[in-house]
Amino acid sequence: MDIASSKADGVLTIQFNRPDKKNAFTAAMYQAMTDALHEAENDALVRAILFTGNTEAFTAGNDLEDFLNEPPTNPDAPVFRFMAAVTKATKPLVAVVAGNAVGIGTTLLLHCELVYAADNAKFALPFAKLGVCPEFASSFLLPQLAGYQRAAEALMLGETFGAKEACDMGLVNRVLPKEELAAFALAQAGKLAALPPSSIRITKQLMKAGRQAAVSAQMAEEIRHFAAMLFAPAAQEAVKAFLEKRKPDFSKLPQE
């Protein structure tokens, strides 16, 4: 099972469980996570939701082969349904990040209340390098969180950055040794689950109220551009280069 869900002591754990592919997401995995989030919304026994991978990988982002077989070209695609479910979640979200967190593995964190990272965590937002644009409202949320220049560096250059830098940017609450990470994060999620659910729900609602409309609007605009850019020459060259295991050459692309 590529997505493993379990409940204990008020915490729903959604584990990315595809270690042979560094937990790269498929459309079926997005659907499974969306279903789990929807069920959690209606389950009074669930008071907090925890996303985790394993000690070597949070997620490598989208599985390229699956992505090409089922490109997300409309708002009803599984990946976008997952994003909508995350942004509409009323219960607190906690992320446990070890190893690589690529693409949506990093943008997901912008929507979580608590994020804890291992000292081996590495983050990357390689959208521009792949000939597409940011997603999950990251083009709005990351500049707010980290400042415009830091966000521009992360989103435009798409270079990998470590756990300490992620913490300095405000993307991560705390960095821990990977051996201590899972137990610590689960304990933090347990603290949330032990508090009055109405207090946590209303606090989250109040903190996010001022930006909810902007997040929804930005996601819709990103989806519009992303769907068009998927079939443009830049993305086609990026995919071809990846499959051919070479560096992409964008120098001959027309100015669009």
Residue 71: predicted pLDDT: 87
Question: What is the reported pLDDT for 68?
Answer: 81
d(CA 34, CA 36): 5
SS3 93: strand
pLDDT of 150: 98
What's the rounded Cα separation, in Å, for the pair 73 and 229? 10
CA distance 132 to 103: 11
**pLDDT value of position 157:** 98
Point out the residues of the chain with pLDDT beneath 50.
none
Q: Sheet containing 3-8: which strands, arranged edge to edge?
A: 3-8, 11-16, 48-52, 93-97, 114-118, 174-176
Sign of CA dihedral 166, 172, 173, 177: negative
Tokens of 28: 């079926």
pLDDT of residue 255: 67
Q: Which domains does the chain have, with CATH numbers?
A: 1-178+196-256 (3.90.226.10)
pLDDT score of 67: 83
pLDDT at 65: 84
CA distance 248 to 191: 47
